[in-house]
Amino acid sequence: MVEIIKYRDTNKEELLERSISYVDVSADVAAIIDEVKRDGDAALFRLCRLYDKADLSSLEVTGEEIDAAINSISPELLAVIREAAENIRNFHEKQRRQGFIIAENNGIVTGQRIIPLERVGLYVPGGTAAYPSTVLMDAIPAKIAGVGELIMTTPPRPDGTITPAVLAAAKIAGVDRIFKIGGAQAVAALAYGTESVPRVDKIVGPGNAYVAEAKQQVSAFTSIDMIAGPSEIVIVADNSCNPAFAAADLLSQAEHDKNAAAILITDSEELAVSVKTELERQLALLPRADIARESLRANGRIIITKDICEAVDLANVIAPEHLELCVASPFDWLPKVKNAGSVFLGMYCPEAVGDYFAGANHTLPTCGTARFSSPLSVDDFVKKSQYTYYSREALLSSADKITLFAEAEGLTAHAESVRVRFRKDDITPETIK
């Protein structure tokens, strides 16, 4: 199932290769987007019947539906959702940006303003599965940023309803409007607007291949957060790690998707063998064993390095979505981690803690993009604008320098826009240098 590999004895390129089954859906998605742009709500109703098997009379979720959903779930689950929301809120409150102003005594003022986006669309996968955690993780940072209106779309079940926990999470997180729309058609509706769905400035949230492709296709018109690939985890572990813990954490990602990647990197051959044995034992107990087994077969690795330093170096090359440091002194190794979406420290911090409860965001860069990308944050829901003020005296003192720079670039009109402010005579071709 999972091969044990010695790092130094293996071709590095082959070691890092990832097998991802890919179906080109670009043409289908383009057709769906065109249909929504052309027919608006009518297309959304039609596509909902086709793909979600739901015959809707209205696209928008009502307040009565939301209240009924909240009343239908257990008090225990509702309390957990509220507590998770509070943890997420506390974490992301620390990310608030402040603008700045530089006011000099010579008549110059410069500054930067932080401006929330006016309207954001949140896509939440649904249908046969339910992801209230995604609602919390994506909506709460948006509301903290000050987004004016947060629009959520999620696919309905065949009976036209939305999973109650998803609606409860939306209410708790402060979502303003919710629509029963899924797939590429939801992305198209958010990007271009319909009779019912308002056009947004940015679309965030994960989805299947159709959703990812749709986000890509509309990204020239509407901002998006990221194109999320299959999930992945890397565990760096030493001989203090319990093999049952490591195996369980690898399987927690493997069960996501047949394209998911689960990799253990260790300096202990004994641990490597024990984890492989544990994987076989625990796999047989999983309801989603077929998915997890295929994931491990295609993208599972157990890699033995000479020491933990080499293990961390390799993790940085992989740049995983999730990185667990299951070592005796995890905080000693944290400064050496350069590329990872989210890092989990110690033996009692499985990645699932971050998925649901701790507060750090679980919308993360995948497929090596942690080399240059960051987790979803409050920053994703604001834009920055800058301003400059010069008094007459301040411009005069810098005029020669500005005109010199402009003329060096051959932009005479730029230079003249400075000179004209201090010329007493009329502008003629002779006065323009």
List where CATH 3.40.50.1980 sits in the chain. Answer: 4-20+253-359, 26-228+379-383
Q: Could you give the CA distance from residue 87 to residue 101 in angstroms, rounded to a whole number? A: 32
Q: How many CB atoms lie within 10 A of CB 378?
A: 24
300 bridge partner residues = 262
Averaged pLDDT, 326-339: 97
**Contact, 267 vs 305, CB < 8 A?**
yes
Strands 382-390 and 108-116: antiparallel
Residues annotated as part of the active site: 321-322
Residue 307 CA to residue 318 CA, distance in Å, equals 17
Confidence of residue 126 (pLDDT cuts 50, 70, 90): confident
End-to-end CA, the chain = 76
What superfamily does domain 26-228+379-383 belong to in CATH? Answer: Nitrogenase molybdenum iron protein domain (3.40.50.1980)
pLDDT tens readout for residues 131-184? 999 999 999 999 999 999 999 999 999 999 999 999 999 999 999 999 999 999
CB 194 within 8 A of CB 41: yes
For the chain, the average pLDDT equals 94
pLDDT band at residue 410 using 50, 70 and 90 as cut-offs: very high
For residues 98 and 114, the answer to whether their CB atoms sit within 8 Å is: yes
The pLDDT of residue 11: 73
Confidence of residue 425 (pLDDT cuts 50, 70, 90): low
CB 43 within 8 A of CB 175: no
- Phi first, then psi, for residue 7 (nearest 5°) are -55, -45
Section 231-252 average pLDDT: 97
Q: How many residues does the chain have?
A: 433
User: In this structure, are residues 35 and 331 in contact, taking their beta carbons and an 8 Å threshold?
Assistant: no
CATH number at 4-20+253-359: 3.40.50.1980
Taking CA atoms, 116 is separated from 101, 163, 175, in Å, by: 18, 30, 16
For the chain, the C-alpha Rg in angstroms (whole number) is 27
Residues 6+ apart with CB under 8 A from 283: 1, 251, 289, 292, 293, 296
**pTM tops 0.75, yes or no:** yes
d(CA 377, CA 366): 16
Tens-place pLDDT, residues 178-204: 999 999 999 999 999 999 999 999 999
Question: For residue 262, which amino acid is it?
Answer: A
pLDDT of residue 95: 97
Query: Would you say residue 57 has pLDDT above 70?
Result: yes
Q: Who contacts 246 (Cβ-Cβ below 8 Å, separation ≥6)?
A: 235, 237, 264, 271, 275, 278, 326
Residue 429 confidence (pLDDT): 55
Rounded Cα distance between 82 and 20, Å, is 36
